Structure 1
Amino acid sequence: MAQLNYQVLKESGYDGFVLEQAPEKVMQFGEGNFLRAFVDNFIDIANEKAGFNGKVVLVQPIAQGLTELINQQEGLYTLYLRGSEKGEKVDQKRVISAVSRCINPYENWEKVLETARSGELEIIVSNTTEAGIVHDTESTFDQVPPVSFPAKLTRVLYERFTAGRKGIIMLSCELIDNNGKELLRCVNQYIDDWKLSEDFRRWVNEENIFCSTLVDRIVPGRIRDPKEVESLNAKNGYEDPLTDVGEVFGIWVIEGPQELEDRLPFRKAGVPVIVVPDVTPYKKRKVRILNGAHTGFVPGAYLAGFDIVRDCMHDDTVRGYMNRMLYEEVIPTLPLDKKDLEEFAQAVQDRFNNPFVNHELMSISLNSTSKWRARNMPTFLDYVKEKGSLPICLTTSFAAYAAFYSNDVQALTEQGLICRRPKGNEYTVSDDRYVLEFFYSHRNDSPEELIHAVMTNTEMWGMDLTTVAGFEEAAGRILKTIREEGALKAFGECLE
């Protein structure tokens, strides 16, 4: 069977949107599954529905990558967005034609610089992993190419500046706080290191817009079942080793001036991309609702006998507990429109109910101590401050966390703390070593003794949690319920 390209796609009878030729308006550092299922998908829709008429030039960020394969397929690849929306199964196919080509800068750095000098370029996007935005003193102006991504970007911008071109919109997608601001800081450091002109510095800082962004879409990336791959190839009429898979939910929050709403093609295209003056509330929304829901119910649900997230959403008690936590305890503490927050929470339930993803509870449970502190504890403290009472679901989640780390402890090994859950199988708790040693040393504590010890461990929480009125007594009582009657009983009591 023929491999995907424009001619093969035409012969296959595909009747979806295809844009074969257009100006290269976007340079993208990163050619992996995430950006292709997220940014390039949105640009492809903008080409179809907003007349953007722009192609994306991919730049391979590391020495090994997909350049050769992408160019063999003339930039084309098949994207499947799969999941659940309002309880209904969704499986959408789209052939993405937004990509023109991919450049390997380790072999063709001059092609990157040539693209930088183009008058058609408007946007640069990056996702070079969390470690990508760093100031590496080993990077030099004359390297081909410079080592770090910010150094490569500085050279690209310098090339553009010396060609007399206008500034660009920089959209940083790396998973770090203030990614755009941090990237600009690194670029300015290279301007210092390389003793570049003050005119260039002024152009970088005044003529270019560096946006911090928040990205949100789970991208498994591959179809792993060979039989499904074979079936899809037969149905499509071509082979596509670049096939990408993402969840149907997605949102991109871009921090920048309001003028970007018109300069970027996304609002007109109707895709879930929003421009806001401050991305912080949206990050808080994601951390406290999406991530906080995971950490809030997973330890207890695992003790109750569940193994994957989707099955939890099919249980009235676990789902009801999670929703009460989100709608009655988390959402009231967040500084965004209530309707927006409730819609996001509804989307979270759909995402957790994704019929295509078997998200294991044990993988979510890794490092639950720091996760509860970052995701759930701020909501807990805000609720207590605002309401003057304890949030029962979040209090239960803390007790369930303590139960998960202490249930029938068997041993402490190099791999972690070995416990046994009520259904009989052993499981390994993974966390910082001091946390595991702490729980092992308290393995014979009563519920009340353990809760007191955990709450007074200021290294874990940055404060003594027993100072929160009534928290120690309530959590101790709930932990006793979990040990004697099960976590599902404790969850159910939150719904009474």
Structure 2
Amino acid sequence: MTAPTLAEAGIVQFGTSRFLLGHVAAFVHASREAGHTRDGILVVQTSPREAGKQKARDLNTHRQYPLAIRGRRDGRDIDTRETVTSIAGCWIADEQWDALERHIVEHARFMVSNTGDSGYRVDDDSALAAVPTSFPGKLTKLLYARYRAGREGLTVLPCELVSRNGEQLLALVRELAQRDYADADFDTWLTTRCLWANTLVDRIVSTALEPVGAVAEPYALWAIEDQPGLELPCRHPDVQRVTSLAPYEMRKLHILNLAHTYLVHLWQREPQSQIRFVREAMDDPAWATELRQVLDDEVLPSLAEHLERPSLEAYRDTTLERFANPYLDHALQDIAQHHATKCQRRLQPVVESARRRGIATPRLDDAISSAQSTTHSR
């Protein structure tokens, strides 16, 4: 299928990350190829960084880009390459604001975002600025323009790794709108005419291709919490409408993320080891066995207080398969950033649940204690 025109770009995507190129844009491409979706994507670059602006210019020039899918899924080795054709263009908010505002008013139906760890910071930003500095500020100003034009509301699908991300983003936008516009009808329009979805995303997009493109693992998930009136921007097996995100968040945080953090514990425990990547850890029989044991003996029995055991075991198997991906250079040194904090968030709740159920957690206890000792010794 040929690339969409700007008039067909009903999806406005805030963020140019390789993750979005290998996740949302790939799903929309597949849905368009299957004839399920007509909407294309207008990508918006939002940060002031010159490197980010150059990336946006490259994407606007090379709107069709390669996506390599490499790894293992459901026991099958996968090494494929396809050309993603869902991008209609890429604009720089600081340079093309007026055109962006017109597009939001005239063509947008969905808004998607993945604006990084600081994406929801507002600081002293104002929606009344010519171009607001923060993502919530930009979003508020753009939605106000659409509201003033008498148009219908939009569906907002944030992909930031923030719990209840749709609800949190709406709260920020309402706060800005009430302060800067003081328009009760606009507030009503935001809450009753726009739809703010909570979502969870999961896919490792490991490498960028130059000038534009990405390498991604076969596994992918875009879980979108259902609500009345929800329309999805595309149809794809990995885009799932779910009743609640809670079980998905719990499995990801306390199995996949916990397992990453436990491998860092093993890596720090053996400073002379030559292991650098997650896949190398999974190739080492001793490390792989210990990880499997901590999951089977301590983690899954604890999580069974909240989730059914078969779903936990299936996710464990998927996680270990993903970790063993021979094409993925996922560095333990990178995962080790903020290790003590990650232990508290990923491991400690599992330990507390285990205590309530009388389950011993010697390995998790040791990992938490070691992280605390390392922090205190600095």
Q: Give me the TM-score of the superposition, normalised by structure 1.
A: 0.69
User: Which of 176, 191, 199 lines up with 2:185 in the alignment?
Assistant: 199
The aligned residue for residue 87 of structure 2 is 99
Residue ranges of structure 2 left out of the alignment (5+ in a row): none
Local SS of the residue matching 1:199: helix
- C-alpha deviations, 1:279-331, integer Å up to 9, x for none? 23321211100111122243235545351321222233432332233234323
Correspondence list, 1:245-324, <5 A: 245-257=215-227, 259-260=229-230, 263-266=231-234, 268-270=235-237, 272-301=238-267, 303-304=269-270, 305=273, 307=275, 308-324=277-293
Percent identical: 29
The aligned residue for residue 68 of structure 1 is 57
Tell me if structure 1 keeps the 8 A contact 2:127–2:177: no
Matching residue's letter, 2:232: L
**Could you tell me how far apart the structure 1 residues matched to 2:228 and 2:71 are?**
32
Q: How many residues align?
A: 368
**Could you tell me how far apart the structure 2 residues matched to 1:306 and 1:405 are?**
24
Structure 1 residues 103 and 365, CA gap change in structure 2 (3 angstroms): closer
The aligned residue for residue 119 of structure 2 is 132
- C-alpha deviations, 1:53-101, integer Å up to 9, x for none? 111011111233233222222x211111222224543222111111101
Residue 348 of structure 1 deviates from its aligned partner by 0.9
The aligned residue for residue 185 of structure 1 is 171
The aligned residue for residue 221 of structure 1 is 207
Asked which structure has the greater RCO (Cα within 8 Å, sep 6+), the reply is 2
**Could you tell me how far apart the structure 2 residues matched to 1:56 and 1:218 are?**
21
- C-alpha deviations, 1:102-126, integer Å up to 9, x for none? 11121111111111111x4211011
Tell me if structure 2 keeps the 8 A contact 1:258–1:275: no
Residue 180 of structure 1 deviates from its aligned partner by 1.6
**Could you tell me how far apart the structure 2 residues matched to 1:50 and 1:264 are?**
15
**Could you tell me how far apart the structure 2 residues matched to 1:161 and 1:383 are?**
50
Q: Give me the TM-score of the superposition, normalised by structure 2.
A: 0.88
Residue 200 of structure 1 deviates from its aligned partner by 1.1
Residue ranges of structure 1 left out of the alignment (5+ in a row): 1-16, 224-239, 407-428, 438-496
Structure 1 residues 337 and 257, CA gap change in structure 2 (3 angstroms): farther
**Could you tell me how far apart the structure 2 residues matched to 1:405 and 1:200 are?**
48
The aligned residue for residue 336 of structure 1 is 307
Q: Does residue 353 of structure 1 match 2:324?
A: yes
**Could you tell me how far apart the structure 2 residues matched to 1:402 and 1:322 are?**
17
**Could you tell me how far apart the structure 1 residues matched to 2:153 and 2:31 are?**
22
The aligned residue for residue 356 of structure 2 is 385
**Could you tell me how far apart the structure 2 residues matched to 1:40 and 1:47 are?**
10
Structure 1 residues 18 and 328, CA gap change in structure 2 (3 angstroms): farther
The aligned residue for residue 30 of structure 1 is 15
Residue 177 of structure 1 deviates from its aligned partner by 2.6
Structure 1 residues 381 and 110, CA gap change in structure 2 (3 angstroms): same
Over the aligned positions, Cα root-mean-square deviation in angstroms equals 2.4
**Could you tell me how far apart the structure 1 residues matched to 2:228 and 2:242 are?**
7
Structure 1 residues 302 and 94, CA gap change in structure 2 (3 angstroms): same
Q: Does residue 89 of structure 1 match 2:73?
A: no
Structure 1 residues 127 and 360, CA gap change in structure 2 (3 angstroms): closer
Tell me if structure 1 keeps the 8 A contact 2:340–2:372: no
The aligned residue for residue 363 of structure 2 is 396
Residue 48 of structure 1 deviates from its aligned partner by 1.8
**Could you tell me how far apart the structure 1 residues matched to 2:338 and 2:117 are?**
18
**Could you tell me how far apart the structure 2 residues matched to 1:197 and 1:82 are?**
50
Tell me if structure 2 keeps the 8 A contact 1:124–1:169: yes
- From the CA coordinates, give the structure whose radius of gyration is larger: 1
